Amino acid sequence: MRRFFTFLKWVFITCIVFTAHAYLTGNTHIFATLNNTILKGRMAPPVDTKKIFPTRKINNGTPQFWVEDPKLGKLNLEQKYSDVLNQYQSIAFLVVQNGKILHEKYWDGYSAKSSTNPWSVTKSIVSILTGIAIKEGKIKNVEQNVSDFLPEFVGTGLKIKHLLTMSSGINFKEQYKNPYGYPAKALYGSDLENLNKKYRVNNIPGKHFVYLSGNTQVLGFVIKKATGKTISEYASEKLWKKIGAEKPAYWSLDCDGGNEKTFCCLHTNARDLARIGQLMLQHGVWGNDTLISENYYRASVSIAKLDKLNGKPNDFYGYGWYILKYKGLDIFYARGIKGQYVIIIPSKNLVVVRLGQEWNNKKIADHHVEFYSFLDAALSLIK
């Protein structure tokens, strides 16, 4: 019994020290991190994070419902593709060709109405919003200094383009497994603006590609300052209503009434994500509305001329979009952790959305292994 009470005493002391350290070092986010991961029996947050964080609604306007292809429901995937989709715990697989839904399937109780977190697919949507702000004249161009909107970057040489191409030189750290790394602090913390001010440009902007979520969070602050609106309000007015989204979307905030987490966390459904893909397939044009300029569109889906830290040239990233050539096809896509994908294949007039709960951490030429299987699955339907 004495040993038991001694054990309890040390547990109590450890908890007190841990709590004191969290408050003294400004790392109180760790409580929310643990509560939503380890204490829930998982090592990472789920795709259903709308219940975890406060949100701001992105209103839609008059829905423009998808036309269904006559072949919808009549095309079956080969077993090997179904096996891969099941293996990586897919929750949605949607294929749109020529503006019509060709194939649509959901798993585990999810449906066309389900709203989930596509994670870093959100970065590609923020890239679109940046292009919209430029076309409207709220931002002059991608060469404009970030300091014109955020004075803490005066004298750094940081430009809008550097945030879009992941070449800011800011000392963010993309450490997903570190509970004290930037992603955890940004996701579970309650003051993104104050958090970001703790980081500095300590390398030459525009020189090296280094994927950092903080870049897109800074870009979100730029859009907010440039437009005078919350980014959810701007997305509603200039994007969601324009593309005829079927459902409202919800953007996670750092606190009630706070700032949107623009590096992630715009909750929506597969059909409305397909609209984002369709918009990009149409070069940023929707109906009679040109949302982004042709120049911005082309730069978005073209490889940015940068070097990686290993000295090799960037060969897969533009303005928030991943780029590759596969089986003779030019492809670009948005990607989020655990395998959230919005894929565009222009020559096939094809948009593919895959949402799920797992992916393969191994990559081939900077693209995840399972991604190629999802590509093949979609292409097999249009032979």
Beta strands in 69-227 (DSSP E): 90-97, 100-106, 208-209
**Are 222 and 275 members of one domain?**
yes
CA angle 288/269/66 to nearest 5° reads 45
**Are 256 and 128 members of one domain?**
yes
- Give the domain CATH number at 149: 3.40.710.10
Instruction: Check whether 21 has a pLDDT greater than 80.
Output: no
Q: Tell me the per-residue pLDDT of 305-353, one tens digit each, with 9 for 90 and over.
A: 999 999 999 999 999 999 999 999 999 999 999 999 999 999 999 999 9
| Cα gap 354→258, rounded to integer Å | 30
Which pLDDT value is given to residue 314? 97
Instruction: List Cβ neighbours of 79 (8 Å cut-off, separation of 6 or more).
Output: none
| Cα gap 318→320, rounded to integer Å | 6
CA angle 120/124/241 to nearest 5° reads 110
Q: Tell me the per-residue pLDDT of 201-236, one tens digit each, with 9 for 90 and over.
A: 999 999 999 999 999 999 999 999 999 999 999 999
Q: Tell me the per-residue pLDDT of 76-127, one tens digit each, with 9 for 90 and over.
A: 999 999 999 999 999 999 999 999 999 999 999 999 999 999 999 999 999 9
Q: What is the DSSP letter of 344?
A: E
Q: Tell me the per-residue pLDDT of 178-206, one tens digit each, with 9 for 90 and over.
A: 777 798 899 999 999 999 999 999 999 99
Q: What is the DSSP letter of 312?
A: P
What region, left, alpha or beta, does residue 155 occupy, with left being phi > 0 and alpha being psi -120 to 50 degrees? left
**Are 98 and 215 members of one domain?**
yes
Instruction: List Cβ neighbours of 326 (8 Å cut-off, separation of 6 or more).
Output: 372, 375
**Are 57 and 23 members of one domain?**
no
Instruction: Check whether 154 has a pLDDT greater than 60.
Output: yes
**CB-CB contact of 291 with 322 (8 Å):** no
**Are 33 and 50 members of one domain?**
no
Instruction: List Cβ neighbours of 3 (8 Å cut-off, separation of 6 or more).
Output: none
Instruction: Check whether 32 has a pLDDT greater than 70.
Output: no
**Are 55 and 132 members of one domain?**
yes
Rounded to an integer, the average pLDDT of 14-18 is 44
How sure is the predictor about 9, in pLDDT bands with cuts at 50, 70 and 90? very low
- Give the number of domains in the chain: 2
| Cα gap 239→136, rounded to integer Å | 13
Q: What is the DSSP letter of 253?
A: B
Instruction: Check whether 152 has a pLDDT greater than 70.
Output: yes
**Are 55 and 164 members of one domain?**
yes
Nearest 10 degrees: Cα torsion 205, 177, 353, 318: 10
**Are 35 and 75 members of one domain?**
no
Q: Tell me the per-residue pLDDT of 264-273, one tens digit each, with 9 for 90 and over.
A: 999 999 999 9
Instruction: List Cβ neighbours of 328 (8 Å cut-off, separation of 6 or more).
Output: none
Domain that holds residue 35: 2-39
**Are 33 and 49 members of one domain?**
no
Instruction: Check whether 50 has a pLDDT greater than 90.
Output: no
